Structure 1
C-alpha cells in the first residue's frame, strides 16, 4: 500500500481500503478481519462505522492513509483493537481502556445481570445499599450498576493507580462522579473497619498461571498479567475473596464473582469450607458454561 498512487492507478478509496485490509488481516489470522478493518478505518478517519459505507467512494489523503497504515501494523502484531482505539463498549457504554486495564468482555455482563437481580430498584423505598467492586479496572462493572440503580452508594477499588485513573475518567464521562474509588489490594484498605457492604462483587483473575502463555497473543502479550493470573490452580484470588469477604459483608449480604468455565465445583467447595455462607449458587453464561457464583453471607433464615 503506497501513500501516493502512480499515474493511471485508482486512488485508495474507503471501500478499496476495506477490501485490501480485510484480505491482509485474513492472511495474518486476525479474528473478524472485516470488522477489524472497519473499526480501525473509522477510528483513523474519525467517523462512525456506518459512515464508511455512506462515503465508500471517498479517497483518503496522504495523511489519512499514513495514519491508517500505522494502525494496520499495530493490529498485525496482534495488539487488541480496544487498545489501539483506546475504547471498548460495555453494557452499551463506551469506555476508555488502556494497557493498564483488562478489556471488558461480553460474558462479564452476566455478572452485572446477576448483581442487578439482587440489587433493589430505587423505587422500592428500601434503604440505600452499599456496593463494593474489587479490582475495578476500567470501572465497567460498577459503572453499569450505577447507571441502572443510581440510588445506591457505590465504592470501587484497585491496587493499580493507573487502572484507577482510567476508571475515574470513565466515571466522569458517564456522570457517575459519586462513585468512591480507592487504592488497595482486595480487602487490605478496609481493615480499619467501617460499615459493612450489602453487595460485594468482582471479576478477579482466575486463569491458571501455566495457561496464560497459551492464550491468544492479544491477551498474553498485551493485557495486564495481574488481571489474569489466578495462580497455580487459577483459584488464588477467588479463594482469598471468598474467605475474607464475610468480614466486610452485612448479614444476609451477597458476594458475586465471575469464575472460569470449569471452576463451579471448586468454588462451591471453597465456599463450604469457609462456613460463612448459607447459600451458594453457580450461574451459567449464554454458552452454557459456569460464569458467575453468588454467595449469601450468614445463617439460613428460619422457615
Structure 2
C-alpha cells in the first residue's frame, strides 16, 4: 500500500493537468467541468439553460457550475476566477462558465447635471484619468445594486442611452434621482431627440474597468494630513470594479465617510499597514507611507 499511494497520487495529478489543458471555453462556457474555487454565492434548482442567465443577472456572480444533481443544481460562485481554475469533472453533463460583466440595470431615468467645475461628493484624487466623463449616481431603488453608496465612489459605470456605450466615473451623488450626466457626457451619450426633451432612459452597469491610466490599486489619503499619528483618512481606487466595503488599521475598523474614504482615530505611523476588504472576498494591504495625500481634488464638468 505504501508503494502504491505515491503512484496513484502522481497519476491523478498528471490527469488533472492534462484535463486543464483539454478544457477550452467557447463563448465562456464548457461541458464536463468544475472550478477549483469553492466560494459559493448561491445555489438554485433550475434547468441547465437558465444557470448561465442566473449568473449574468446576479450581482457578484463571476462563474457558475451546473450539474444533474437533484434534477438540476446551479451553483453561482463569486470572486476572481480565470481559466486556470477550470478542471475536468467525472460528470460529463456538468456545465461551467465565466461571466465577465456585472448585470445591466435598464430604463433608468437620466437627466443633465447643471453644475460645472464640480468636485462632487466623492472628492476623487487628482490623477491621470483614462475615463474622463463624470456622472452623479442617484439612490432610487430601481437602480438596484448600483444605487449610490460611498463604496462606489471612483468606480466606472458603463452606460447606454441610445447613442452608443460610454464609460463614466462615479464622482457625485444625486439623492432621490436616477443618473445625472454632466455636460460632457450628456452631449456625447444622449440622442438629439432626448436632448430636446431634457430627459433620457439609459441602461447602466458597474464596469470592471479602472478609472486611471495607471495599472494596479491606488491608495490615497483623503486629506493632506499624512503625518497625523492620531487621525487617518484613506481610500483605495483603481480596483477594476472590485468594491471595497471595509478597511482595518492597527486592529481597528475604519468608518466609511460619504466621500468614499475610511477614517481612523487611533495611533499609527507611516510604517503601519492598512488593509482594505472587497465585497465578495479578498483583501489588499499597503503601507500608509505609500498612500499620498491630496492637496486638492479632481474637478469635473
> The TM-score by the shorter chain falls in which range?
under 0.3
Relative contact order (C-alpha < 8 Å, sep 6+): which is higher?
Answer: 2
Structure number having the greater helix percentage: 1
Structure number having the greater strand percentage: 2
Query: TM (normalized to structure 1)?
Result: 0.23
Query: TM (normalized to structure 2)?
Result: 0.24
